[in-house]
Amino acid sequence: MRASTFRRLLNLWPPFLCNSIRVQALRDDYSEAQVVLRLRPWNRNYVRSQFGGNLFSMTDPFWMLLVMHQLGNDYYVWDKAGAIDFVAPGREDVYAHFKLESSVVDELRAAAAGGEKVLRWFETEVKTASGEVIAIVRKQIYVRLKPKARGTSPLPT
């Protein structure tokens, strides 16, 4: 699917649409994404700052999606784990930028070439427009070459 179409669909996805999360940019080769979470009356917490669940939601799918599209259909790609460190209250719109370097994609391909599972952590800072860090989100991605791409049977013979 073209990245521009996928970006539009993500922006219509209810967890993003209802919580004022918007994918601002998605590179055609799925190597980079920019996301914004607008602070609205319906998505702030009791102390009037960004709701932590939305901070995590705005970052949740992107490392998996970028890796999945960069590697292609011969790989299983899943989210394995995630963690968030709340650094400061987000009292305004916040942004997350994801950039998947081609060297990382090459490393993942090489590590998974024999069919082994590969686990890799990715980190994203959620920032205000002025660059203040609001949260640091870590996601662990699982990658494995599919059996058909390894040239082996999925079941023992």
Per-residue pLDDT tens digits for 39-51:
999 999 999 999 9
43 CB-near residues (< 8 Å, 6+ apart): 19, 20, 37, 50, 51, 54
Q: Do the strands 32-37 and 94-99 form a parallel or antiparallel pair, or are they unpaired?
A: antiparallel
Report yes or no on whether pTM surpasses 0.75: yes
Domain edges within the chain: 3-150
Q: Mean pLDDT in each 10-residue stretch from start to end of the chain (157 residues)?
A: 95 95 97 97 92 95 97 97 97 98 97 96 98 98 95 57
Closest listed residue to residue 34, CA positions, set 98, 129, 102, 101? 98
Class for domain 3-150, per CATH?
alpha beta
Per-residue pLDDT tens digits for 56-65:
999 999 999 9
DSSP class of 20: T
